[in-house]
Every structure is written in C-alpha cells, then in structure tokens.
Copies of this chain bind each other. A is one copy, B any other.
Amino acid sequence: MSLSEFSLIQRFFTQKKSRNACTRLGVGDDCALLSIPAGHELAITTDTMVENVHFFADTDPEQLGHKLLTVNLSDLASMGAKPVSVLLALTIPNVNEPWLSAFAKGFMDLAERYEVDLVGGDTTSGPLTLTVQALGVVPQGQALRRSAAKVGDFICLTGPIGDAGLGLKINEGYGCADPEPALRQFNKPEPQIDAGLAIRECANACIDISDGLTSDLGHILKQSQVGACIYWQALPLSDAVQTYIEETGDWRMPLVAGDDYQLCFTVSPDHIGQLTIDCVKIGVIESEPGLRLNKSGIIEFLEVKGFEHFS
C-alpha cells in the first residue's frame, strides 16, 4: 500500500483504539498480528460485493458499508464464531470523500458494536468492488458445520424470512402499505452474531440465509446427506410478506429470496429445550433425500436453488 492510500484508509477508517483483545498489531505494517485464545480455532470467511451486481450506484453508502460487514459477520455467526477482526479490500474508481466517509461510518459503527477491529486492507483504483475478510474465534471442535444435521433434528429459524425479498420487490415497483421494515431488512440487515453464540452448544448444523431458505437449507441437506420436510404454516412471515403473497400469489418468494441473514439451524429433540433464544421450528430432518414443503397437507417438492451468478 502506498503512503497516500494508507493515509486515505487511515483518515476514514481509523478506530479510536483497538477494541478487541485478540489484536496484537493493527493497520500500518505488512501484516496485522492476532493472538488466538488457547483452546480456540480461527474461523475465516470472505465475501465480495460488486457495483451493479450486488448493489446499484445510487445505494446509500452508509447502508452499503453496514451491509458489506453484515454479509461477512453473518458467515461467522453461522459457525457459532465470535468475530474479532476484519480486513477491507476497497477498489474504488476515485476518491469521493462524502461517499467514503458515509461508507466508513456504516462499516465502522457495526464493527464497533461487536468490538471488531479493522486490522488491515488494501485500497486500489478500479471499478467499485468491496471485499471483506472476517476472522472470528470458536472453542475447538464447537464450530457449527453444515454437515452435522441428523435425522430427527428440528429445523429452526432465528427470525422471519422474506422481508429482504419484499424490500427488493418494493425497489422494483411493488406497492406496499408499510414499506419501511422490508426496505430496512433489504438495505441494512443485521448479522445474527448473538444467536450464533447462543445456539452453539445445542445446535447440530447451521447456515445463514443469504441465498434463500431452500438454497441454504439445501446445502445442509446435501452436506449432511439427509432430506427435510418444512411446514408452510410454521414459516415465520411478517404481515407485509403475507399480504404480498395474497396479492400476487407468489408464495415461493420467502423461500427463495436471499439477503435475510437469519440463521437456519438444526437441533435434536433432546436439546431443543436448552435453547436460550427465541426461534421458530419450521420442519424436521428426514432420511429421505430432497426438500419437501407440507402446505396444508399437500406435499410440494422444492427445487434446491437460489441466486446463482453465471447461471
């Protein structure tokens, strides 16, 4: 990183001080240095957001900074990991100070809420492309893996689905009596960090709903070599999403729309009583492969797919 890039990053992204006990050395050297607590493993993930693919040029930069970090912290949440630090690779066409300042505010406000340090990054000129690498810690052997679902497990959600999808429909022109909650879920979703930590000791498999329930639950089913049945009546849907379905007939939307960032996890009947957070049971893991939806007694077979680039 050149001196001017470093100054740029420093100016907009400087934290008042390191907030996380794992940080040994932050921004300003060739590498950052972290210490990982004894008995813990490091969880790492990376996600990229590209202008005109994941967001439009007129997206509010403060919400974009928040969402970029949410997308990455959500992957840590779904492993039951506690976030400790992030790196930010920022490719920007030019130095737009108001934009950078607002973007940094959205990003850093969320980072500070979870005591996450921004410990490094790279700033380059080019088409707007935002990549975060997030690092978290989890006690050895306790990470929640997609491959750990067992036949008989309940399938649970940490909160409602379909609101982000409804936000996208509203942006595309759908008229909604009370659009704000859905738009907020689409534009400024929250990572389910606390839920991931709370379910870690009793859940088996877990994933975050970033690509849509059927797609993401499908990953659990495939990697655990099981199937599932979910119950339409049990799905947590907001009034606005229910109204959308009544008006359009598009009942699949909350099942396939992405960007909700709720956690979908499985837990055995023996451990369901130990859950310390509110969540909703939506179905059961079964030995029969495939994903089935029980809709008032009628079984629909759901295709396991969500949003795919290059498809």
Q: Do residues A2 and B53 form an inter-chain contact, with CB atoms below 8 A?
A: no
Query: How near does chain B come to A27, taking the closest CB pair, in angstroms?
Result: 11
Q: Do residues B44 and A87 form an inter-chain contact, with CB atoms below 8 A?
A: yes
User: Does A277 have its Cβ within 8 Å of any Cβ on chain B?
Assistant: no
User: Does A123 have its Cβ within 8 Å of any Cβ on chain B?
Assistant: yes
Within 8 A of B (CB), among A39-65: 41-54
Residues on the B chain within 8 Å of A94, using CB = 310
Q: Do residues B76 and A31 form an inter-chain contact, with CB atoms below 8 A?
A: yes
User: Does A215 have its Cβ within 8 Å of any Cβ on chain B?
Assistant: yes
Q: 0/1 per residue, A271-306, Cβ < 8 Å to B?
A: 000000000000000000000000000000000111
**Interface size class, chain A:** 35 or more
| Residue from A29, A54, A75, A78 whose CB has the most chain B CB atoms within 10 Å | A29
Within 8 A of B (CB), among A102-136: 119-127, 129, 131, 133, 135-136
Q: 0/1 per residue, A172-214, Cβ < 8 Å to B?
A: 0000000000000000000000000000000000111001000
| Residue from A89, A126, A308 whose CB has the most chain B CB atoms within 10 Å | A126
Q: Do residues B305 and A3 form an inter-chain contact, with CB atoms below 8 A?
A: yes
Q: Do residues B30 and A146 form an inter-chain contact, with CB atoms below 8 A?
A: yes
Q: Do residues A30 and B223 form an inter-chain contact, with CB atoms below 8 A?
A: no
Query: How near does chain B come to A7, taking the closest CB pair, in angstroms?
Result: 10
Q: Do residues A309 and B5 form an inter-chain contact, with CB atoms below 8 A?
A: yes
Pick the contact of A131: B48, B75, B206, B305 (CB < 8 A): B48
Q: 0/1 per residue, A1-17, Cβ < 8 Å to B?
A: 01111001000000000
User: Does A140 have its Cβ within 8 Å of any Cβ on chain B?
Assistant: yes
User: Does A145 have its Cβ within 8 Å of any Cβ on chain B?
Assistant: yes
User: Does A234 have its Cβ within 8 Å of any Cβ on chain B?
Assistant: no
Q: Do residues B31 and A45 form an inter-chain contact, with CB atoms below 8 A?
A: yes
The residue on B at minimum CB distance from A208 is B30
Pick the contact of A143: B31, B46, B50, B87 (CB < 8 A): B31
Q: Do residues B211 and A2 form an inter-chain contact, with CB atoms below 8 A?
A: yes
Can you list 18 A-B pairs with a CB-CB distance of less than 8 A? A3-B305, A4-B310, A25-B145, A29-B223, A32-B44, A34-B41, A44-B85, A46-B122, A46-B133, A48-B89, A50-B129, A53-B126, A91-B129, A95-B310, A124-B309, A125-B310, A126-B129, A129-B131
Give 9 closest A-B pairs by Cβ, nearest first: A50-B126, A127-B127, A2-B308, A31-B43, A133-B133, A30-B75, A31-B45, A30-B78, A131-B131
Given contacts A46-B89, A46-B122, A123-B309, 14 further A-B contacts (CB under 8 A): A29-B147, A30-B207, A31-B78, A32-B45, A44-B135, A45-B87, A53-B126, A87-B133, A91-B129, A94-B310, A126-B127, A127-B127, A127-B129, A131-B131
